[in-house]
Structure 1
């Protein structure tokens, strides 16, 4: 029996009817697939996560934490851990990414930040730590998949030293920050526009980590670029809403440095993942997002003298990369 036939059979059981329609809902960067299930006047999202490739248990655990903490996440209507199937409430078709424009940036992102502040205050005792080994593993994706596979370049010993020193700088920056509940992929493709407030999806990789991580994921998005004045305004809005503007432990300058270097870590990781999705998983569509993501990297290098070696390394390896229009 095919996987689609197994899903239909499972849906027949949990919905107690065979009177439903199944259509593709979205593409995912993992091995999960999502389908929209129409049953009469009701609509659900079915997740197909092959158990040999995906573990649904983190999704279930994190969903319970966030739901209990009043974060706007889908409800789990049914779940079969052995089969790797899940039925969720449907937040609809409208991604943040599809609706954003210059006239609504502030309002939509303010709502997203309000939801982020709630999410960041969720308890972290049951989720993994965003620790040094995990941060290091993620940073290595850039060297392995972008430099090694995409550019087909082998780093010299001197270049390897530059990369290693960069990793230490970025990991130390992450660990020095206040540690909070981190979604780990909080951006315009994982926020749904709903009637009352943003719907938050794709949260299964949550960790306890740096306070700036989700904010930089949102405001320095790999899929859409906001004007810098808008980013600055929204950082101020976040600091006010979170209460961090009144914390004497660090200044706004310190926070922005954390934010910028955290963004560098995330963008290097993302470029590595986009490359891996193409070369390992046969998903070339993400390659088009590399120039935009690389432009963030280059911008941060221009702002911090300690990144001059990385700036030179990128200049040597990427003579044709330019900022996207």
Structure 2
């Protein structure tokens, strides 16, 4: 149980609704208990407006309609008032128990639905403690309470940072466990990245290269705390690049309050690539790769962050996601795929990288993580985010990530423009760079194909499958380079025919 929480006035009740809305997941049922006038409808109205991102949205009490649906909210919300329900059998007609509907259910007077209704729900009980004060308690499944407790802790974090009255707004996350929130009326972002428990120990089966058995996140050096974000961001700013300034932090608890660099990306409003902005992003990489990056970065507040090498072992472990997940996704039996030959070919392809210079490799240098700042000039025009997994790796990796954006189709002619823009900015050898972009693009696309297949099969997130045709097409482009001829037969077995 959480509480009792003391709420003084409607503003405190509305803030509690906002805090709960930050972490409420599709399909949740929130039972609203309390006497008439206890604050149930006040809570529901604020909750719905928060998810709809519309403070003026009309949210009438559904006393007579019994159920009101709000598809403008994200996730959608069903607001029910069962006070006038005369018989629990009438519940069938209300659609509140449809297992295929992902809407969040807010249910006032849930007891009218009968014994056992809404099992597995969160129950929020209001108890008036005077004319302007009420108490609220939360009970329900522990995993849901843990999410709610985390959100209340974020409110406490904001209070300690002198933003106790801030209005919070959910932001789209990524494929990781990190969450983001925007504070309304102040240019700040909450980064919620609690340290996650290690996953299962894995022994990478990547051919002759033997690697220690560790959780996957450790094998590929994914950031396990916000210390990495803080250190890399500081280093980027010191080198003249635009990364968010940290205004408050609780590093051990995984909370940062960072500068909001804005909402514009390097895409047009319709989601297509803006060639001018993409070329600026390619030129920025030239400047980034001209910096001599140290292996040890300072963490503000104390300590250091070590930049690991993006070496053959890490690259092969990431590639292993393709035979582990994408092969099955394509309906190919594991026994019919020459895994040993596949990794032997990849080891030969990657061997030359060991002798080449390295640079700071951001690893996800693509449209969602590059902010366009039209009012700025020079390097400051582009804001960088989502760089906590940065390593010291191949110069061409981030070039490949940019020109073969997994979420946006980059036409071949624009890809060519971007490669030329990078060459002008970095003075890289043209033939060498094209070969390396093909190699790094093939590695990255292999990883992405595996990740998107895994998100669907293991994590129940099929939405990423819509990007597979694009990534598969990028893979075909990479494999057309003569330097990857040995790898091409393995992918010909997997890639679907072009329609």
Normalising by the residue count of structure 2, what TM-score does the alignment of the two structures yield?
A: 0.58
Q: Could you tell me which residue of structure 2 aligns to residue 56 of structure 1?
A: 226
Q: Could you tell me which residue of structure 1 aligns to residue 342 of structure 2?
A: 163
CA separation in 2, counterparts of 1:287 and 1:177?
Answer: 35
CA separation in 2, counterparts of 1:275 and 1:124?
Answer: 35
Q: Classify the secondary structure of the residue corresponding to 1:73.
A: coil
Q: Classify the secondary structure of the residue corresponding to 2:368.
A: coil
More strand by share: 2
Change (3 A) 1:4 1:113: same
Change (3 A) 1:198 1:291: same
2:268 touches 2:274 (CA, 8 Å); kept in 1?
Answer: no
More helix by share: 1
Q: Could you tell me which residue of structure 2 aligns to residue 296 of structure 1?
A: 474
Q: Could you tell me which residue of structure 1 aligns to residue 351 of structure 2?
A: 172
Q: Classify the secondary structure of the residue corresponding to 1:34.
A: strand
Q: Could you tell me which residue of structure 2 aligns to residue 140 of structure 1?
A: 320
Change (3 A) 1:175 1:36: same
2:498 aligned with 1:322? yes
Q: Displacement, 1:43?
A: 2.2
Change (3 A) 1:103 1:279: closer
2:271 touches 2:408 (CA, 8 Å); kept in 1?
Answer: no
Indicate the structure (1 or 2) with the bigger Cα radius of gyration.
2
Alpha-carbon RMSD: 2.3
Q: Classify the secondary structure of the residue corresponding to 1:42.
A: coil
- Number of equivalences: 310
Q: Displacement, 1:259?
A: 1.2
Q: Displacement, 1:302?
A: 3.0
Q: Classify the secondary structure of the residue corresponding to 2:187.
A: strand
2:188 aligned with 1:44? yes
1:141 touches 1:269 (CA, 8 Å); kept in 2?
Answer: yes
Q: How does 1:79-228 map to 2 (within 5 A)?
A: 79-99=249-269, 104-105=274-275, 107-120=276-289, 121-126=291-296, 127-148=307-328, 150-156=329-335, 159-194=338-373, 195-196=375-376, 197-228=381-412
Q: Displacement, 1:209?
A: 0.8
Q: Could you tell me which residue of structure 1 aligns to residue 427 of structure 2?
A: 243
1:65 touches 1:122 (CA, 8 Å); kept in 2?
Answer: no
2:164 aligned with 1:18? yes
Q: Displacement, 1:240?
A: 1.4
CA separation in 1, counterparts of 2:404 and 2:349?
Answer: 17
CA separation in 2, counterparts of 1:75 and 1:321?
Answer: 47
2:243 aligned with 1:73? yes
Structure 1, unaligned runs of 5 or more: 245-250
Q: Displacement, 1:161?
A: 3.1
CA separation in 2, counterparts of 1:306 and 1:125?
Answer: 31
Which ranges of 4 or more aligned residues in structure 1 deviate by more than 4 Å? 98-103
Q: Displacement, 1:233?
A: 2.4
CA separation in 1, counterparts of 2:353 and 2:368?
Answer: 24
Match for 1:9 among 139, 156, 179? 156
Q: Deviations over 1:71-119 (max 9, x none)?
A: 11111111102221110000122222454877941x1122212322232
Q: Deviations over 1:285-308 (max 9, x none)?
A: 211111110111122223327536
Q: Deviations over 1:196-232 (max 9, x none)?
A: 2011100011111111111111011111222222222
Structure 2, unaligned runs of 5 or more: 3-148, 198-223, 297-306
Q: Deviations over 1:107-139 (max 9, x none)?
A: 112221232223222513221111121111111
1:177 touches 1:258 (CA, 8 Å); kept in 2?
Answer: no
Change (3 A) 1:122 1:191: farther
2:435 touches 2:481 (CA, 8 Å); kept in 1?
Answer: no
